[in-house]
Protein backbone atom coordinates (compact mmCIF):
# COMPACT_ATOMS: atom_id res chain seq x y z
CA UNK A 1 0.00 0.00 0.00
CA UNK A 2 1.22 3.48 -0.81
CA UNK A 3 1.68 6.12 1.80
CA UNK A 4 -1.07 8.31 0.35
CA UNK A 5 -3.36 8.44 -2.65
CA UNK A 6 -6.82 9.09 -4.02
CA UNK A 7 -9.30 7.84 -6.59
CA UNK A 8 -12.57 9.08 -8.05
CA UNK A 9 -15.71 6.95 -8.11
CA UNK A 10 -19.00 7.83 -9.80
CA UNK A 11 -20.20 9.60 -6.68
CA UNK A 12 -17.39 10.01 -4.17
CA UNK A 13 -13.82 11.15 -3.85
CA UNK A 14 -11.83 8.90 -1.53
CA UNK A 15 -8.47 10.08 -0.18
CA UNK A 16 -6.20 8.40 2.31
CA UNK A 17 -2.98 9.28 4.02
CA UNK A 18 -0.78 7.81 6.70
CA UNK A 19 -1.99 9.23 10.02
CA UNK A 20 0.35 7.26 12.27
CA UNK A 21 2.76 4.35 12.02
CA UNK A 22 -0.07 2.02 12.99
CA UNK A 23 -2.86 3.21 10.71
CA UNK A 24 -4.19 5.35 7.89
CA UNK A 25 -6.76 8.17 7.80
CA UNK A 26 -9.45 7.95 5.10
CA UNK A 27 -11.63 10.86 3.95
CA UNK A 28 -14.76 10.28 1.85
CA UNK A 29 -16.49 13.29 0.26
CA UNK A 30 -19.03 13.87 -2.48
CA UNK A 31 -17.20 14.23 -5.80
CA UNK A 32 -19.87 16.30 -7.51
CA UNK A 33 -23.04 17.98 -6.36
CA UNK A 34 -25.38 19.94 -8.60
CA UNK A 35 -23.00 19.55 -11.53
CA UNK A 36 -20.01 21.09 -9.73
CA UNK A 37 -16.88 19.51 -8.27
CA UNK A 38 -16.88 19.47 -4.47
CA UNK A 39 -13.32 18.16 -3.95
CA UNK A 40 -10.55 20.58 -4.96
CA UNK A 41 -8.00 18.90 -7.17
CA UNK A 42 -9.76 15.58 -7.70
CA UNK A 43 -10.15 16.18 -11.44
CA UNK A 44 -6.43 16.69 -11.96
CA UNK A 45 -4.79 13.98 -14.04
CA UNK A 46 -2.00 13.74 -11.48
CA UNK A 47 -4.54 12.62 -8.87
CA UNK A 48 -6.69 10.37 -11.06
CA UNK A 49 -3.55 8.92 -12.72
CA UNK A 50 -4.96 8.71 -16.27
CA UNK A 51 -4.07 10.53 -19.47
CA UNK A 52 -7.23 12.35 -20.62
CA UNK A 53 -5.90 12.81 -24.17
CA UNK A 54 -6.35 9.10 -24.82
CA UNK A 55 -10.02 8.91 -23.85
CA UNK A 56 -13.39 10.26 -24.86
CA UNK A 57 -15.48 11.53 -21.97
CA UNK A 58 -19.15 10.93 -21.23
CA UNK A 59 -20.65 13.54 -18.91
CA UNK A 60 -24.03 13.12 -17.27
CA UNK A 61 -26.08 16.28 -16.99
CA UNK A 62 -28.50 16.49 -14.05
CA UNK A 63 -32.07 17.45 -14.80
CA UNK A 64 -32.66 21.20 -15.03
CA UNK A 65 -28.94 21.85 -14.79
CA UNK A 66 -27.86 25.42 -15.49
CA UNK A 67 -26.55 26.16 -18.98
CA UNK A 68 -23.66 28.14 -17.52
CA UNK A 69 -22.55 25.07 -15.55
CA UNK A 70 -22.52 22.94 -18.70
CA UNK A 71 -20.49 25.55 -20.58
CA UNK A 72 -17.99 25.81 -17.73
CA UNK A 73 -17.57 22.03 -17.59
CA UNK A 74 -17.08 21.87 -21.36
CA UNK A 75 -14.39 24.55 -21.15
CA UNK A 76 -12.59 22.67 -18.37
CA UNK A 77 -12.65 19.40 -20.28
CA UNK A 78 -11.25 20.79 -23.53
CA UNK A 79 -8.89 23.51 -22.32
CA UNK A 80 -7.57 21.96 -19.10
CA UNK A 81 -7.60 18.24 -19.87
CA UNK A 82 -7.30 18.42 -23.68
CA UNK A 83 -9.74 15.57 -24.23
CA UNK A 84 -10.32 14.36 -27.77
CA UNK A 85 -14.12 14.07 -27.63
CA UNK A 86 -16.98 14.61 -25.22
CA UNK A 87 -20.69 13.84 -25.05
CA UNK A 88 -23.16 15.28 -22.55
CA UNK A 89 -26.06 12.92 -21.84
CA UNK A 90 -29.24 13.62 -19.94
CA UNK A 91 -29.55 11.70 -16.71
CA UNK A 92 -33.24 11.02 -17.33
CA UNK A 93 -32.60 9.71 -20.87
CA UNK A 94 -29.99 7.26 -19.59
CA UNK A 95 -32.41 6.06 -16.90
CA UNK A 96 -35.08 5.39 -19.52
CA UNK A 97 -32.69 3.71 -21.97
CA UNK A 98 -31.46 1.43 -19.19
CA UNK A 99 -35.00 0.05 -18.94
CA UNK A 100 -35.12 -0.65 -22.70
CA UNK A 101 -37.35 2.27 -23.72
CA UNK A 102 -36.86 5.53 -25.58
CA UNK A 103 -40.22 7.15 -24.84
CA UNK A 104 -41.74 7.60 -21.40
CA UNK A 105 -41.78 9.67 -18.24
CA UNK A 106 -38.95 9.56 -15.70
CA UNK A 107 -39.51 10.55 -12.07
CA UNK A 108 -36.23 11.08 -10.23
CA UNK A 109 -36.68 11.57 -6.49
CA UNK A 110 -33.50 12.42 -4.65
CA UNK A 111 -32.67 13.78 -1.22
CA UNK A 112 -34.37 17.17 -1.47
CA UNK A 113 -35.91 17.52 -4.96
CA UNK A 114 -38.09 15.37 -7.23
CA UNK A 115 -37.91 15.84 -11.02
CA UNK A 116 -40.54 14.63 -13.50
CA UNK A 117 -39.17 14.50 -17.07
CA UNK A 118 -41.18 13.48 -20.18
CA UNK A 119 -38.99 11.92 -22.91
CA UNK A 120 -39.93 11.27 -26.54
CA UNK A 121 -37.73 9.09 -28.75
CA UNK A 122 -34.68 9.73 -26.61
CA UNK A 123 -35.11 13.49 -26.39
CA UNK A 124 -36.24 15.48 -23.38
CA UNK A 125 -38.96 18.10 -23.62
CA UNK A 126 -37.53 20.95 -21.51
CA UNK A 127 -40.74 22.99 -21.41
CA UNK A 128 -42.61 20.08 -19.79
CA UNK A 129 -40.09 19.30 -17.04
CA UNK A 130 -41.46 19.59 -13.53
CA UNK A 131 -39.51 20.16 -10.32
CA UNK A 132 -41.07 19.50 -6.89
CA UNK A 133 -39.48 20.55 -3.60
CA UNK A 134 -40.50 17.24 -2.08
CA UNK A 135 -38.19 14.26 -1.87
CA UNK A 136 -36.63 11.65 0.37
CA UNK A 137 -35.65 13.94 3.23
CA UNK A 138 -39.16 15.43 3.38
CA UNK A 139 -40.70 11.97 3.54
CA UNK A 140 -38.30 11.04 6.32
CA UNK A 141 -39.33 14.09 8.35
CA UNK A 142 -43.01 13.38 7.67
CA UNK A 143 -42.84 9.79 8.88
CA UNK A 144 -40.95 10.95 11.97
CA UNK A 145 -43.80 13.33 12.80
CA UNK A 146 -46.57 10.73 12.50
CA UNK A 147 -45.98 9.09 15.92
CA UNK A 148 -45.91 12.52 17.57
CA UNK A 149 -49.22 13.52 16.03
CA UNK A 150 -51.01 10.33 16.97
CA UNK A 151 -53.19 10.65 20.03
CA UNK A 152 -53.89 7.04 20.93
CA UNK A 153 -53.77 7.01 24.72
CA UNK A 154 -54.93 4.21 26.98
CA UNK A 155 -56.24 4.72 30.50
CA UNK A 156 -52.86 3.87 32.01
CA UNK A 157 -51.16 6.73 30.19
CA UNK A 158 -49.78 9.32 32.57
CA UNK A 159 -46.47 10.58 31.14
CA UNK A 160 -45.70 12.08 27.75
CA UNK A 161 -42.43 10.98 26.18
CA UNK A 162 -41.27 12.42 22.89
CA UNK A 163 -38.57 14.72 21.61
CA UNK A 164 -40.25 17.41 23.72
CA UNK A 165 -39.83 17.75 27.46
CA UNK A 166 -41.67 14.97 29.39
CA UNK A 167 -44.70 15.75 31.49
CA UNK A 168 -46.31 13.91 34.38
CA UNK A 169 -49.91 13.92 35.59
CA UNK A 170 -50.18 13.88 39.39
CA UNK A 171 -52.46 15.00 42.20
CA UNK A 172 -52.59 18.64 43.21
CA UNK A 173 -50.33 19.90 46.01
CA UNK A 174 -50.44 23.21 47.87
CA UNK A 175 -47.26 24.43 46.19
CA UNK A 176 -49.13 24.30 42.86
CA UNK A 177 -51.70 26.94 43.83
CA UNK A 178 -49.99 29.90 42.13
CA UNK A 179 -49.56 27.96 38.89
CA UNK A 180 -53.16 26.71 38.95
CA UNK A 181 -54.67 30.15 39.51
CA UNK A 182 -52.47 31.54 36.75
CA UNK A 183 -53.73 28.87 34.35
CA UNK A 184 -57.32 29.66 35.33
CA UNK A 185 -56.95 33.39 34.67
CA UNK A 186 -54.96 32.91 31.47
CA UNK A 187 -57.39 30.32 30.12
CA UNK A 188 -60.39 32.59 30.60
CA UNK A 189 -58.64 35.73 29.32
CA UNK A 190 -57.80 34.13 25.98
CA UNK A 191 -61.52 33.77 25.20
CA UNK A 192 -62.17 37.52 25.43
CA UNK A 193 -61.00 38.46 21.88
CA UNK A 194 -63.09 35.65 20.38
CA UNK A 195 -66.11 36.75 22.40
CA UNK A 196 -65.60 40.36 21.28
CA UNK A 197 -65.59 39.32 17.61
CA UNK A 198 -68.68 37.20 18.17
CA UNK A 199 -70.43 40.14 19.82
CA UNK A 200 -69.63 42.47 16.92
CA UNK A 201 -71.23 40.04 14.45
CA UNK A 202 -74.58 39.98 16.24
CA UNK A 203 -77.38 41.76 14.30
CA UNK A 204 -78.40 43.87 17.29
CA UNK A 205 -74.79 44.96 17.80
CA UNK A 206 -74.42 45.99 14.16
CA UNK A 207 -77.69 47.91 14.37
CA UNK A 208 -76.50 49.71 17.50
CA UNK A 209 -73.05 50.53 16.11
CA UNK A 210 -74.44 51.86 12.83
CA UNK A 211 -77.81 53.26 13.85
CA UNK A 212 -76.73 54.93 17.09
CA UNK A 213 -74.00 57.20 15.64
CA UNK A 214 -76.15 57.94 12.58
CA UNK A 215 -79.08 59.05 14.72
CA UNK A 216 -76.71 61.14 16.84
CA UNK A 217 -75.35 62.84 13.72
CA UNK A 218 -78.83 63.63 12.46
CA UNK A 219 -79.67 65.25 15.78
CA UNK A 220 -76.40 67.09 16.50
CA UNK A 221 -74.73 67.37 13.10
CA UNK A 222 -71.30 66.89 14.73
CA UNK A 223 -68.89 64.29 13.33
CA UNK A 224 -66.67 64.63 16.38
CA UNK A 225 -69.56 63.65 18.62
CA UNK A 226 -70.29 60.69 16.34
CA UNK A 227 -66.64 59.54 16.57
CA UNK A 228 -66.62 59.81 20.36
CA UNK A 229 -69.91 57.91 20.58
CA UNK A 230 -68.61 55.13 18.30
CA UNK A 231 -65.43 54.70 20.35
CA UNK A 232 -67.48 54.66 23.55
CA UNK A 233 -69.72 51.92 22.14
CA UNK A 234 -66.70 49.81 21.13
CA UNK A 235 -65.15 50.16 24.58
CA UNK A 236 -68.47 49.16 26.13
CA UNK A 237 -68.66 46.13 23.84
CA UNK A 238 -65.15 45.12 24.84
CA UNK A 239 -66.05 45.36 28.52
CA UNK A 240 -69.23 43.39 27.87
CA UNK A 241 -67.21 40.63 26.16
CA UNK A 242 -64.76 40.46 29.07
CA UNK A 243 -67.26 40.63 31.92
CA UNK A 244 -68.68 37.04 31.81
CA UNK A 245 -65.21 35.48 31.84
CA UNK A 246 -64.01 37.72 34.66
CA UNK A 247 -67.18 36.90 36.55
CA UNK A 248 -66.52 33.18 36.10
CA UNK A 249 -62.98 33.53 37.50
CA UNK A 250 -64.21 35.57 40.46
CA UNK A 251 -66.97 33.07 41.19
CA UNK A 252 -64.49 30.17 41.05
CA UNK A 253 -62.12 31.92 43.45
CA UNK A 254 -64.97 32.24 45.95
CA UNK A 255 -66.14 28.62 45.63
CA UNK A 256 -64.16 25.48 44.77
CA UNK A 257 -60.90 27.25 43.82
CA UNK A 258 -60.79 29.21 47.09
CA UNK A 259 -59.35 26.19 48.92
CA UNK A 260 -58.53 23.51 46.37
CA UNK A 261 -57.35 20.93 48.89
CA UNK A 262 -60.51 21.28 50.95
CA UNK A 263 -62.84 21.27 47.94
CA UNK A 264 -61.32 18.32 46.10
CA UNK A 265 -59.66 16.14 48.74
CA UNK A 266 -61.89 16.37 51.81
CA UNK A 267 -64.14 13.52 50.71
CA UNK A 268 -63.92 10.43 48.53
CA UNK A 269 -65.11 10.61 44.97
CA UNK A 270 -63.38 13.91 44.10
CA UNK A 271 -59.87 14.81 42.98
CA UNK A 272 -57.77 17.50 41.29
CA UNK A 273 -54.86 16.76 38.96
CA UNK A 274 -52.09 18.91 37.53
CA UNK A 275 -49.64 18.32 34.69
CA UNK A 276 -46.02 19.00 35.59
CA UNK A 277 -43.35 19.69 32.97
CA UNK A 278 -39.79 20.69 33.93
CA UNK A 279 -40.90 21.91 37.35
CA UNK A 280 -43.83 23.95 36.01
CA UNK A 281 -47.55 23.22 36.10
CA UNK A 282 -48.80 23.36 32.50
CA UNK A 283 -52.24 21.78 32.82
CA UNK A 284 -55.01 20.96 35.28
CA UNK A 285 -58.42 19.36 35.69
CA UNK A 286 -60.77 18.78 38.62
CA UNK A 287 -63.53 16.30 39.41
CA UNK A 288 -66.37 16.78 41.92
CA UNK A 289 -69.57 14.84 42.60
CA UNK A 290 -72.77 16.36 41.23
CA UNK A 291 -74.35 19.13 43.32
CA UNK A 292 -77.76 17.47 43.42
CA UNK A 293 -77.94 15.03 46.36
CA UNK A 294 -79.79 12.46 44.26
CA UNK A 295 -76.98 12.37 41.69
CA UNK A 296 -73.90 12.56 43.95
CA UNK A 297 -73.35 8.80 43.79
CA UNK A 298 -73.94 8.51 40.05
CA UNK A 299 -72.65 11.67 38.37
CA UNK A 300 -69.15 13.18 38.40
CA UNK A 301 -68.49 16.76 37.24
CA UNK A 302 -65.32 17.52 35.31
CA UNK A 303 -64.18 21.10 35.98
CA UNK A 304 -61.43 23.56 35.01
CA UNK A 305 -59.78 21.57 32.23
CA UNK A 306 -56.99 23.84 31.04
CA UNK A 307 -53.60 23.47 29.33
CA UNK A 308 -51.04 26.24 28.94
CA UNK A 309 -51.06 27.72 25.45
CA UNK A 310 -47.45 26.78 24.63
CA UNK A 311 -48.03 23.12 25.60
CA UNK A 312 -51.16 22.43 23.56
CA UNK A 313 -51.57 20.03 20.64
CA UNK A 314 -49.49 17.39 22.44
CA UNK A 315 -52.30 15.20 23.76
CA UNK A 316 -52.19 16.63 27.30
CA UNK A 317 -55.87 17.61 27.39
CA UNK A 318 -56.92 14.20 26.10
CA UNK A 319 -54.79 12.48 28.75
CA UNK A 320 -56.39 14.62 31.47
CA UNK A 321 -59.92 13.81 30.27
CA UNK A 322 -59.17 10.11 30.19
CA UNK A 323 -57.65 10.33 33.65
CA UNK A 324 -60.99 11.70 34.90
CA UNK A 325 -62.93 8.99 33.05
CA UNK A 326 -60.80 6.26 34.59
CA UNK A 327 -61.16 7.81 38.04
CA UNK A 328 -64.95 7.94 37.60
CA UNK A 329 -65.09 4.29 36.59
CA UNK A 330 -62.96 3.29 39.57
CA UNK A 331 -65.17 5.26 41.98
CA UNK A 332 -68.34 3.65 40.62
CA UNK A 333 -69.90 6.65 38.86
CA UNK A 334 -72.24 6.00 35.96
CA UNK A 335 -71.62 9.20 34.00
CA UNK A 336 -69.27 12.17 33.72
CA UNK A 337 -70.70 15.61 32.89
CA UNK A 338 -69.11 18.92 31.97
CA UNK A 339 -70.12 22.32 30.65
CA UNK A 340 -68.40 24.41 28.00
CA UNK A 341 -69.36 27.46 25.98
CA UNK A 342 -70.25 27.71 22.32
CA UNK A 343 -67.05 29.68 21.64
CA UNK A 344 -64.69 26.97 22.89
CA UNK A 345 -64.56 25.16 19.54
CA UNK A 346 -61.41 23.12 20.20
CA UNK A 347 -62.75 21.87 23.53
CA UNK A 348 -66.10 20.89 22.00
CA UNK A 349 -64.36 18.96 19.23
CA UNK A 350 -62.13 17.15 21.74
CA UNK A 351 -65.04 16.10 23.96
CA UNK A 352 -67.07 14.83 21.02
CA UNK A 353 -64.14 12.79 19.70
CA UNK A 354 -63.79 11.17 23.11
CA UNK A 355 -67.45 10.13 23.17
CA UNK A 356 -69.20 12.95 25.06
CA UNK A 357 -72.71 13.84 23.87
CA UNK A 358 -74.55 17.15 24.19
CA UNK A 359 -77.51 16.75 26.55
CA UNK A 360 -78.46 20.35 27.36
CA UNK A 361 -78.07 23.91 26.09
CA UNK A 362 -78.69 26.93 28.31
CA UNK A 363 -77.39 30.36 29.37
CA UNK A 364 -75.26 30.24 32.50
CA UNK A 365 -76.31 33.75 33.59
CA UNK A 366 -77.88 36.95 32.25
CA UNK A 367 -74.48 38.26 31.14
CA UNK A 368 -74.06 35.21 28.90
CA UNK A 369 -77.53 35.72 27.49
CA UNK A 370 -76.74 39.36 26.65
CA UNK A 371 -73.76 38.35 24.50
CA UNK A 372 -75.67 35.34 23.08
CA UNK A 373 -73.13 32.70 24.16
CA UNK A 374 -74.92 29.55 25.34
CA UNK A 375 -73.43 26.84 27.51
CA UNK A 376 -73.45 23.19 26.44
CA UNK A 377 -73.71 20.36 28.93
CA UNK A 378 -72.01 17.22 27.67
CA UNK A 379 -72.30 13.75 29.19
CA UNK A 380 -70.16 10.65 28.94
CA UNK A 381 -71.88 7.43 29.98
CA UNK A 382 -69.46 4.93 31.46
CA UNK A 383 -70.03 1.36 30.26
CA UNK A 384 -69.27 -0.09 33.70
CA UNK A 385 -67.53 0.71 36.95
CA UNK A 386 -64.71 -1.75 36.37
CA UNK A 387 -61.04 -0.93 36.13
CA UNK A 388 -58.35 0.12 38.55
CA UNK A 389 -56.76 3.51 38.82
CA UNK A 390 -53.18 4.06 39.90
CA UNK A 391 -52.50 7.76 40.61
CA UNK A 392 -48.74 7.50 40.37
CA UNK A 393 -48.60 5.26 37.32
CA UNK A 394 -46.53 6.43 34.39
CA UNK A 395 -46.87 5.74 30.73
CA UNK A 396 -46.38 7.27 27.31
CA UNK A 397 -48.76 9.24 25.16
Please name the residues in contact with 274: beta carbons below 8 A apart, sequence gap of 6 or more.
169, 170, 171, 172, 173, 176, 179, 180, 281, 283, 284
Compute the C-alpha angle 344/345/351, nearest 5°.
90
Q: Residue 153: is its pLDDT beyond 70?
A: no
**For 372, how many CA atoms within 13 A lie in the half-sphere containing its CB?**
11
- On the question of pLDDT at 129 being above 60, the answer is yes
Q: How many domains does the chain have?
A: 1
Q: What is the pLDDT of residue 384?
A: 62
305 occurs within a structural domain = yes
Q: What is the pLDDT of residues 55-97, one digit of tens each?
A: 788 888 777 777 788 888 888 888 888 888 888 888 888 888 8
**Residue 171 lies inside a defined structural domain of this protein:** yes
> What's the CA gap between 282 and 197, in Å, rounded?
28
Q: What is the CATH number of the domain that holds 358?
A: 3.40.630.30
In a domain, 348, yes or no: yes
Q: Which domain holds residue 267?
A: 150-381
The reply to whether 103 falls in a domain is: no
Residue 287 lies in a domain: yes
The confidence band for 149, taking pLDDT boundaries of 50, 70 and 90, is: low
129 three-state secondary structure: coil
At residue 392 the predicted structure's pLDDT band, cuts being 50, 70 and 90, is: very low
Q: Is there a domain that residue 273 lies in?
A: yes
Contact 83, 106 (CB under 8 A): no
> Is 249 part of any domain?
yes
By DSSP bridging, strand 32-33 and strand 23-30 are unpaired
pLDDT at 106: 86
Quickly state the pLDDT bin for 299 (edges 50, 70, 90): very high
Residues 351-372, mean pLDDT to the nearest whole number: 88
Angle between helix 192-200 and helix 223-253 axes, rounded to 10 deg: 140
**Which of 39-48, 185-194, 337-346 bottoms out in mean pLDDT, i.e. has the lowest?**
39-48
C-alpha distances out from residue 32 to 7, 10, 48, Å? 14, 9, 15
- Section 314-318 average pLDDT: 91
Tens of pLDDT, residue by residue over 223-281, are 888 888 888 888 988 888 888 889 999 999 999 999 999 999 998 899 999 999 888 99
Domain-embedded: residue 91: no
Amino acid sequence: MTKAGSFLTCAHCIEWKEASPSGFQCNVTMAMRGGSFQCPGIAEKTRVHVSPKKYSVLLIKPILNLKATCEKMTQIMFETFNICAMYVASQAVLFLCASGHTTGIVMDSGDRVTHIVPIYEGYTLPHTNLCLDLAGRNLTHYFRKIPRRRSLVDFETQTHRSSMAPYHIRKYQERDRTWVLGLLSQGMAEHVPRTFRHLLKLPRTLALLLGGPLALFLVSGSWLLVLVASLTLLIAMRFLAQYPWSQFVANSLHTDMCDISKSYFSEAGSCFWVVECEGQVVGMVGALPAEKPTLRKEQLQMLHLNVALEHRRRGIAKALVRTVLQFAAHQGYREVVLTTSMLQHAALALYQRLGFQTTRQYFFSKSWAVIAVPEFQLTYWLPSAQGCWAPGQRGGL
